[in-house]
Structure 1
Amino acid sequence: MDLHLYNNLHRRLEAFAPLDPARVTMYLCGPTVYNYVHIGNARGPVVFDVLAKLLRRRYPKLVFARNITDVDDKINTAAQELGVPITTITDKFTAIYREDMAMLGITPPDVEPHATEHIPQIIAMIEQLIARGHAYAADGHVLFSIASYGDYGKLSRRPMDEMIAGARVDVAPYKRDAGDFVLWKPSTPDLPGWDSPWGIGRPGWHIECSAMAEAHLGETIDIHAGGNDLLFPHHENEVAQSTCAHGGKVFARFWVHNGMLDMGGTKMSKSLGNVSVLHELLAKHPPEALRFALLSAHYRQPLDWSDALIEQSIKTLDRLYGTLRDLADVPAPPAALPSGVESALCDDLNTPAVLAEISRLAGDARGLRNKTAHADKDSVENTELARLKSDLLAAGEILGLLQQDPAAWFSRGSDAGDETRIQALVDERNIAKKARDFARADAIRKQLADEGVLIEDTAQGVRWRRG
């Protein structure tokens, strides 16, 4: 079946077909590494990790790039406040970002370009823009001339006056047009800088991504992804400068944007101060539950982030892992992606529909397990049970879920000694129930409940889990 993605370039769902099936290219705007990222910054990497998994099943030669912005005014400010070189800041937060992404189960990109490692390519692209009449040098700066590109604003579809206001541009005397944006700017001795035809300076933010994408993916890429907060000015400016530098060639054929996270109905952002730091959330909650929560709404829609959403995600994963634990004796050979899951993902990455299908598979498996607890291992029912388990694991894998051993999931935050103690209490409760000492059995249940341990009486025996 065809993969359909919502292409923001044309504002419609379109069937995706790469320019070259032997080398499919995708670029995702990565972090500016000056501080810890918030949970909203993780939505794009998680969502587009799923897209990359889906694409690799169809096009094994996918080249997926996610950049690191390691030269930026925010980084300069952080370094100056601490009195350290910018690399002290960028090295620290790049390492933390990678660790956080790994904890969320995100596969590393094929290419992770750093802006500071591409200064020659950035300078070369700026020189191309000047030579083609799309950029000009003025007062130590180089600026892109938006008047030189007739399709400026086509991606974001904003009126020019709104774009100028939204870009928060400086109306500097050296600009030909108020909307012209910086490609290169001069650096004073206390700022990082590189030699260039226009003096010691540093690149503007927008040109960095254009140069890195060209260097690793080519002049035209198949998919450019990112948050919808980047649609303007960042992605609009990328389109303008890349198209003009490449003689009119299409820069990105598909523009795919994820929606923002809200807290209490307000967009999560560092400027508003209403952020939940990802690094802190990963220390407090199971990382898989955070990933589950980020996939619980359609990627293009806003997602209301809350403690309740995290807790619901944990409970749902408890139920799913509980199903897999009850099926521990059922062989599960690797399976193809279930058709219902593939159909949902091919419909513009409909992850909520996939999660619903996972829930259905688990429910069917639990129901059949209860009916076949004593069935012959070669029965038709147990063959169906094996299929359901295989489908459940395959559906989880494409979303980056349900790949732990159930015992590891349920033992999170505990040590082996604590598990042994809890299991001993559970065994004591079982003995008390058989002896009809219900007062002791109830006392043990309450003791464990007070510790956050829930007991479940199932057809397969007594199970326990942390609430």
Structure 2
Amino acid sequence: MLEVFNTLTREKEPFKSIEPGKVRMYVCGPTVYNYIHIGNARSAVAFDTIRRYLEFSGYQVDYISNFTDIGEKLARTATAEKTTVAAVAAKYIAAVNEDSAALNIEPATYHPRATENIKEIIDLVTNLVEQGMAYEVAGDVYFRAKKFPEYGKLSHQPLSELEVGASQRTNSEETARKEDPIDFALWKAAKPGEVFWESPWGPGSPGWHVECSVMAIKYLGKTIDIHGGGEDLTFPHHENEIAQSETFTGQKFANYWLHNGFVTVGTDDEKMSKSLGNFVTAHEALSQFDPQAIRFFMAATHYRRPLRYTEAGLDDALAEIQRFKIARANLLYRRKDAVAGNDVAIDGQRHLFVDQFKTAFDDDFNVQNGLAVIHEYVRFMNKYALNPEIKLDTLMALVQQLDQFVEIYGVDLSQTVGLDAEVADLIVKRNAARAAKDYQTSDEIRDQLTAAGIILEDTAQGTRWRRA
């Protein structure tokens, strides 16, 4: 049975969806004022990997991830780029989609935007004001956090510590307007030149936290199965989502809260962030490294662990993918002499590997233990590829199973790069030269491939190749 670590309880819990066979999952998306950095991409990859395993396990996943397309950050970018907030949002949403496709992140069931849900946001804020849980000051509307009895239950912090943190996050002018420093904004009065919408409290725009509550409720229901995001969102963002959502609906907002760890850089493992200026954008990384290597590098570390971003790590990820591809190619090469039918004993062992893989992932999506199973499985494939007799149905089932395993990590082993096709063509020419006893040409091609880092292995089943 699948168990997940729930930030709300700080324990692993058996996973049980609200509706059998269906998972309602909301993951906080980016604020689209710039290209996403690797830390943002890591969160998207982590929850895409989780989604893929849920689907592998037979669930239908309704997956919602938003775009925050309003706010001060977009306004600053619009000013710097001499354009409009809407144009900034359109530009960087397109960039997010492009980067996500390159990283093989499945599109969400729906990607709602904050600006598409202004009416629903105003309705929610109005309801909280009418309940006495929120109040208006000079066009701003704040939530009375201490009136929510369980405020702090997600971040597991006492109110005294939360008050100190709240005072540090807001300026003295805003703190003076609030009844209590811990109160948070639901609606913000428009400043001169800002994009705004008319509301019962005057022209303004939504606070950051309220949009996710509205979109999760609108598209998934009052109570959802999984709410995810980076660990830095636990407080205040997700804490505030719980308070306003549960006050509004009178029901539990999310049953399971999952948070991914940070991406770090440097020997001191400093968190990657735009505010620290130590970030690498996904756009930059994708232009320099194999997209599948980046995807696998991020997917192969457990989602709750920090991930140190290094070029050596990306190189290792690419080499690991290549090992999988070689095992796959070696077995597929045996199709030419395979006989019809299936090998019952081998098929039985394949099913045992599937059970081991599920056991690994059912432990809070343990991708690293899952990889250990895949490595054993690849060795099993390589051993079978050396059998004197190969059964075609078994061969294809083994290959398809490997594909299915690594697809959960977002890797497509059927993809080839240009070099693969060139190598295959040279091997055909070398084999033809050997058959014609033209050993000079055969040796020249081998030397050419060796210089390119390609190692040839002549076996009884034919010539295979691998990268050095």
Under a length normalisation based on structure 1, what TM-score does the superposition of the two structures give?
0.88
* Shift of residue 447, structure 1, vs aligned partner: 4.3
Question: What is the aligned partner in structure 2 of residue 361 from structure 1?
Answer: 377
2:89 alignment partner AA: T
The correspondence of residues 273-292 of structure 1 with structure 2, limited to 5 A, is 273-292=277-296
Q: Is the 8 A contact 1:170 1:178 kept in 2?
A: no
Q: Which stretch has the larger CA shift, 288-297 or 337-346?
A: 337-346
* Shift of residue 72, structure 1, vs aligned partner: 1.8
Q: Is the 8 A contact 1:429 1:444 kept in 2?
A: no
Q: Which stretch has the larger CA shift, 328-337 or 206-215?
A: 328-337
SS in 2 for 1:77: helix
Partner Cα separation in structure 1 for residue 449 and residue 235 of structure 2: 53
Question: What is the aligned partner in structure 2 of residue 272 from structure 1?
Answer: 276
Q: Is the 8 A contact 2:272 2:279 kept in 1?
A: yes
Q: Is the 8 A contact 1:228 1:259 kept in 2?
A: yes
* Shift of residue 341, structure 1, vs aligned partner: 1.2
Partner Cα separation in structure 2 for residue 302 and residue 278 of structure 1: 18
Q: Is the 8 A contact 1:261 1:304 kept in 2?
A: yes
What are the Cα deviations for residues 354-407 of structure 1, in whole angstroms up to 9, with x where unaligned?
Answer: 11111111111112212x1x42x44xxx77655533432221233332x342xx
Question: What is the aligned partner in structure 2 of residue 80 from structure 1?
Answer: 79
The correspondence of residues 1-40 of structure 1 with structure 2, limited to 5 A, is 2-21=1-20, 23-40=22-39
What are the Cα deviations for residues 214-244 of structure 1, in whole angstroms up to 9, with x where unaligned?
Answer: 1111111111011111111111111111111
1:215 alignment partner AA: K
1:352 aligns with 2:354: no
SS in 1 for 2:314: helix
Aligned residues: 449
Q: Is the 8 A contact 1:26 1:223 kept in 2?
A: yes
Q: Is the 8 A contact 1:47 1:295 kept in 2?
A: yes
Partner Cα separation in structure 1 for residue 159 and residue 323 of structure 2: 52
- Between the aligned residues of both structures, percent identity stands at 38
* Shift of residue 285, structure 1, vs aligned partner: 1.9
Question: What is the aligned partner in structure 2 of residue 456 from structure 1?
Answer: 456
* Shift of residue 7, structure 1, vs aligned partner: 0.5
* Shift of residue 166, structure 1, vs aligned partner: 3.7
1:393 aligns with 2:403: yes
Partner Cα separation in structure 2 for residue 266 and residue 238 of structure 1: 28
Q: Is the 8 A contact 2:137 2:177 kept in 1?
A: yes
Q: Is the 8 A contact 1:169 1:181 kept in 2?
A: no
* Shift of residue 54, structure 1, vs aligned partner: 2.8
Structure 2 residues without counterparts, runs of 5 or longer:
none
Q: Is the 8 A contact 1:133 1:148 kept in 2?
A: no
Q: Is the 8 A contact 1:169 1:179 kept in 2?
A: no
* Shift of residue 31, structure 1, vs aligned partner: 0.8
SS in 2 for 1:399: coil
* Shift of residue 448, structure 1, vs aligned partner: 3.7
Partner Cα separation in structure 2 for residue 124 and residue 345 of structure 1: 41
The correspondence of residues 25-64 of structure 1 with structure 2, limited to 5 A, is 25-58=24-57, 60-64=59-63
Aligned residue among 314, 318, 327 for 1:314: 318
SS in 2 for 1:24: strand
Question: What is the aligned partner in structure 2 of residue 104 from structure 1?
Answer: 103
Q: Which stretch has the larger CA shift, 66-75 or 47-56?
A: 47-56
Call closer, same or farther: CA 1:190–1:50 in 2, change over 3 Å: same
SS in 2 for 1:269: coil
SS in 2 for 1:323: helix
Partner Cα separation in structure 2 for residue 152 and residue 52 of structure 1: 29
Partner Cα separation in structure 2 for residue 30 and residue 279 of structure 1: 17
Aligned residue among 207, 224, 227 for 1:224: 227
* Shift of residue 131, structure 1, vs aligned partner: 1.1
Question: What is the aligned partner in structure 2 of residue 162 from structure 1?
Answer: 161
1:251 aligns with 2:253: yes
Call closer, same or farther: CA 1:151–1:252 in 2, change over 3 Å: same
Structure 1 residues without counterparts, runs of 5 or longer:
none
SS in 2 for 1:26: strand
Partner Cα separation in structure 1 for residue 445 and residue 82 of structure 2: 57
Aligned residue among 198, 201, 208 for 2:201: 198
Partner Cα separation in structure 2 for residue 294 and residue 135 of structure 1: 41
What are the Cα deviations for residues 153-209 of structure 1, in whole angstroms up to 9, with x where unaligned?
Answer: 110012334324444123422110111111111113411110101111111110110
SS in 2 for 1:276: coil
The correspondence of residues 163-178 of structure 1 with structure 2, limited to 5 A, is 163-167=162-166, 168-171=169-172, 172=174, 173-178=176-181
What are the Cα deviations for residues 1-59 of structure 1, in whole angstroms up to 9, with x where unaligned?
Answer: x2110001000000011122265311000111111111121122222122222323455
Q: Is the 8 A contact 1:295 1:352 kept in 2?
A: no
* Shift of residue 316, structure 1, vs aligned partner: 0.8
Q: Is the 8 A contact 1:13 1:348 kept in 2?
A: yes
Call closer, same or farther: CA 1:456–1:165 in 2, change over 3 Å: farther
1:456 alignment partner AA: L
2:177 alignment partner AA: Y
Q: Which stretch has the larger CA shift, 169-178 or 156-165?
A: 156-165
Partner Cα separation in structure 1 for residue 277 and residue 433 of structure 2: 49
What are the Cα deviations for residues 62-103 of structure 1, in whole angstroms up to 9, with x where unaligned?
Answer: 311011111121111101112211111110110111121112
Call closer, same or farther: CA 1:458–1:50 in 2, change over 3 Å: farther
Question: What is the aligned partner in structure 1 of residue 135 from structure 2?
Answer: 136
Partner Cα separation in structure 2 for residue 319 and residue 349 of structure 1: 23
Call closer, same or farther: CA 1:22–1:357 in 2, change over 3 Å: closer
Question: What is the aligned partner in structure 2 of residue 68 from structure 1?
Answer: 67
Question: What is the aligned partner in structure 2 of residue 150 from structure 1?
Answer: 149
Q: Is the 8 A contact 2:330 2:464 kept in 1?
A: no
Partner Cα separation in structure 1 for residue 314 and residue 291 of structure 2: 10
